[in-house]
Amino acid sequence: MTVTRGGVEFAKRIFFDRLGDDYVYGGTWDPNDRGVGCDCSGLVTDVLSAVFNGNQMVWGRQGLSTESYRYKSVGEQHVGPFDLMHVTSLSDVPGDAPVVINLHHEGDGGPHSHMNCVVDGVAMESSGSWGCCTAPKAIPSDSNYWNDHWYVAGPIVEDGTPPTLGHVDSFFADVSEFQVPVSDSYPYKILSIRVCDGTHRDSNFAQNYAWMRNALDTGRLECGIVYTYVRPNWQDNANTVRQMIDANGGLHPRVVLMLDVESGGNPGGDGSSWINALYNNLAEYAGNPARIIGYANQGDFNTMWVSRPKGLRVIAASYGSNPLLPGQIAHQYTDGAYGANQGLPMGCNPFGNCDMNVADGLSPNDFAAACGIGTAAGAGPVAATGTRGLITMAQPQDIVNMLNGTNTDGSPLIGPDGADYRMVDLLAPDTEPLDEKQNTTRSVFDQITTLSKVLTRTHNNKTLFDMVSDLHDKM
């Protein structure tokens, strides 16, 4: 059975329409009432019907439950009306599978069994604890809880249907020689691996990078991060990075380089001169400065790297709170022992507990674009392309710029129609033309109340009203 983009996106849409609905044992979704809840197998059955049939789907259970997947041979199987593949382990699921189905079989089944699915990277589950939910509340595919796995054979046939836009949070691990090497059991679309600490060469890099390159080529990963712990002997540090990457196949076009800026073992005070020298060297190597990102906690960010490249994208380390650093596109929220809350994963296969990161509001592809993957060489660091309807951590500065009518450096912000956004006073009375006053005298929060006057302003294909509404939803 062919799976089209239209079917996949229709399945996402009906799922996101019902996100937050109650769990109802034995229930199925109602096409005429989005508030009707369902159980785990009811959700998966309707989602599969949507994936295979789009808006011509058959709604309802179709005689299926968790037990319909039990005691089946490995290989191609017909489960109800669906053609599915049964595998012995999650690592046997190919990277282009449109749908992964996870099951827990126990006892006599029924309320003792459970299932969920992942459609094109979107986790979908109806559970007694959370109702209709997605990540991080949905149980991840690599959880030891699951003891059975199925998938829908891919690839997705593109038919021109645009993506369904909904909530996306991209998780990824950050590993080095202190963890086991990566394997196909790794569940996420982004991975960060260490290449070196100054001139110390990470003993796992060759194996990790070989896996990363293959995963990027086959679609298992969307973006790879290779990082170095920065040291003041920046030239030797840069040479080590270059030599190790070149010796292992070269810099993959979907890999970004990250500078891990930490005070441990480094001289005190402002290290901007040598950190920026390393940055410039690796930007030349990568061919695009946007492909060089930073990592730091708030203290080291403000004291070690005082003068930073304009537009730098940053992963912020903070266990227990989110510092929202300038240029932040992701947050390292735990080292595997501290900082995790609200059900966020403390680690993943095959590493166990480890450093874990989340890019709030960014799909893996959006994250890659924010890090310069796919942007023109020499274009410089680029703004994050967040999903419509969601605020990303890189967008608050964009909102301030839009309100002020200027770019971060003070230059005029010009709209797609050529308008100079400085020449609009958001609080100008209705009796005054909106182009008579420069917007310089009101606070951001005062101006937010009258954004309806400037809904035609756009930035990264989003209106100001969209962006501020998103920010309000995330606060």
Pick the CATH number of 169-370 from 3.40.50.300, 3.30.70.270, 3.90.1300.10, 3.20.20.80: 3.20.20.80
State whether residue 420 is helix, strand or coil.
Answer: strand
Better-predicted residue by pLDDT, 60 or 440? 60
Band (pLDDT 50/70/90 cuts) for residue 384 is very low
Q: Could you give the CA distance from residue 99 to residue 74 in angstroms, rounded to a whole number?
A: 17
pLDDT of residue 401: 57
Better-predicted residue by pLDDT, 197 or 345? 197
Residue indicated by tokens 């299926």: 64
* Distance of alpha carbon 155 from the chain centroid: 21
The answer to whether residue 71 scores a pLDDT higher than 80 is yes
pLDDT of residue 18: 84
State whether residue 171 is helix, strand or coil.
Answer: strand
Contact 219, 251 (CB under 8 A): no
pLDDT of residue 316: 94
Q: Could you give the CA distance from residue 114 to residue 126 in angstroms, rounded to a whole number?
A: 9
pLDDT of residue 366: 79
pLDDT of residue 398: 54
Band (pLDDT 50/70/90 cuts) for residue 172 is very high
What kind and span of H or E run contains 453? none
Residue 325 tokens read as: 């650093």
Q: Could you give the CA distance from residue 372 to residue 255 in angstroms, rounded to a whole number?
A: 10
Q: Could you give the CA distance from residue 258 to residue 261 in angstroms, rounded to a whole number?
A: 9
Mean pLDDT of 390-404: 49
376 DSSP 8-state letter: P
CATH domain 5-152 topology = endopeptidase fold (from Nostoc punctiforme) (3.90.1720)
State whether residue 79 is helix, strand or coil.
Answer: strand
The answer to whether residue 62 scores a pLDDT higher than 50 is yes
State whether residue 319 is helix, strand or coil.
Answer: coil
Band (pLDDT 50/70/90 cuts) for residue 248 is very high
pLDDT of residue 382: 33
The full length of the chain comes to 475
The answer to whether residue 379 scores a pLDDT higher than 80 is no
Residue indicated by tokens 């709209």: 415
Mean pLDDT of 445-462: 48
- The mean pLDDT value of the chain amounts to 81
Percent of the chain with pLDDT over 70: 76
CA distances from 420 to 38, 140, 404 (A): 51, 47, 11
Mean pLDDT of 259-288: 96
Band (pLDDT 50/70/90 cuts) for residue 133 is confident
Domain positions in the chain: 5-152, 169-370, 396-474
Residue 18 tokens read as: 């019902």
Q: Could you give the CA distance from residue 258 to residue 194 in angstroms, rounded to a whole number?
A: 9
Report DSSP letters for 103-119, one per residue: EE--TTSGGG-EEEEEE
pLDDT tens figures, 223-241: 999 999 999 999 999 999 9
Percent of the chain with pLDDT over 90: 56
Band (pLDDT 50/70/90 cuts) for residue 266 is very high
Lowest mean pLDDT among 67-81, 239-253, 297-311, 440-454: 440-454
pLDDT tens figures, 89-123: 999 999 899 999 999 998 876 778 999 999 998 89
Band (pLDDT 50/70/90 cuts) for residue 465 is low
pLDDT tens figures, 285-332: 999 999 999 999 999 999 999 999 988 999 999 987 888 888 888 999
Mean pLDDT of 320-345: 80
User: How buried is residue 77: exposed, middle or buried, by Cβ count under 10 Å (0-12/13-18/19+)?
Assistant: middle
Q: Please write down the long-range contacts of 209-214, taking CB distance under 8 Å and 24 or more positions apart.
A: 209/245, 209/248, 209/249, 210/248, 210/249, 211/181, 211/182, 211/183, 212/182, 212/252, 212/255, 213/249, 213/252
Q: Could you give the CA distance from residue 107 to residue 461 in angstroms, rounded to a whole number?
A: 52
